[in-house]
Structure 1
């Protein structure tokens, strides 16, 4: 069977688990599917934990280590980091970010690319910036690109994001794709715990996870199909597979 590739493009360590943990875990079980992550920063503007797990100076290296542990738990095939400054991604020239994204697409040859919805779910400016750059990159790819679909990670307005209502969401009618995998909730919880410095955020959004529980982890991830170059592609109901319609 032909190998299939997904490229997740996010801003910070832990975005991958918060937004797409179920999805990555599910596709990692398919030996013919390989998921890769391009992460734009090392999350150096985040907290070091309470009490602190490391110094402020050590935080970028610590968060990278946590990301690689979480990636291993989820089953990501690789993690590439761009090393931009956390909270300053919007100041990076868009052409520069697009260049890096094009290079990652050339490297991994994904059929599917996933990033944040334009609002970034939390509204974080880095989330918005990486969404905008990824969208621009997709729309400026050559005609012979491997990419067939671009998805935006989001949450439906009629549901919560773990235990909270996210600042930004989309109407359930706008959700085109739901990747469900309730059996992977313990795996996602373990990946969330790997982000040790971010335990306050993890516990706020997913209560109980830091103490070994996983009931607050949603059983599915939700997406909007933002772009496709598949001719005459139509969705009936909601997709349950990124590769639906790709031959």
Structure 2
């Protein structure tokens, strides 16, 4: 039986491990699921590590290596780099943005995923390049819909209640619009191991999960990853009244 294909569309190496590592590990382990990642950049504008592990000129190649190691732990099938420059996605010219959209369209039509996961409108963290990927992916979906019907499209989200508990009042999706709390309890160790591969991004890991790297205690990682269903078989979904138990719900025709 052919695998269910899931395409994650993000801006940087490590976005997948912060947002979806538990989900990826869970479904590559438990189900016949094949994950692909469309990564717009190689993270060339990111941190170099503390102390620095590479040079600014070589950072893109270094982070590509880190991503290969992290996604191997999670069981990702393939990474599709779109070859745009980190830190520039939010300020592309109209022509360059059109090229970004076309690059996403190409990956979608090459992979023909059953599920697409990407950033919500706030980019999860308000990162400008994340937000740019959100809008580029939306544009790509509008182009693709007349050629290929994608069964399900999700945003990877953080509920407002979680951000509010951290004192961040300007972020997150209203809890009522969270379609799924994906239980990743059994896969938090894999998520830790994937995050540890991003040695250049130690500052970001420590910021999101204080104490995680020093303690090596995967129980610091929350038990859930959250998703908001946006489209089901090409039709928009009212997330406030629509809830699921798994991102594989409603895919019985493919399972």
Give TM-score, length-normalised by structure 1. Answer: 0.92
Bigger helix share: 2
1:242 deviates by 1.7
Q: Deviations over 1:21-67 (max 9, x none)?
A: 11111111145210100100111111101111111111111111001
Displacement after TM superposition at 1:164 (Å): 7.8
1:226 maps to 2:248:
no
Structure 1: segments with no counterpart, 5+ residues: none
**Alpha-carbon separation, structure 1, partners of 2:121 and 2:132:** 8
1:111-167 Cα offsets, whole Å, 9 max, x none, are 100001010011111000101111111122143515111111110011149978585
Query: How many residues are matched?
Result: 247
Answer whether contact 2:230 2:237 (CA < 8 A) is retained. Answer: no
- In the other structure, the counterpart of 1:200 is 203
TM-superposed CA distance for 1:209, in Å, is: 2.3
Structural mapping, 1:97-246, within 5 Å: 97-160=100-163, 165=168, 168-211=171-214, 212-229=216-233, 238-246=243-251
1:88-99 to 2 correspondences below 5 Å:
88-92=88-92, 93-99=96-102
Over aligned residues, Cα RMSD in angstroms? 2.3
The answer as to whether partners of 2:82 and 2:100 remain within 8 angstroms in 1 is no
Q: Any idea what the Cα deviations from partners look like across 1:215-236, whole Å, max 9, x if unmatched?
A: 2211111111112226798887
Q: Which range moved further: 139-148 or 24-33? A: 139-148
In structure 2, list runs of 5 or more residues that go unmatched. none
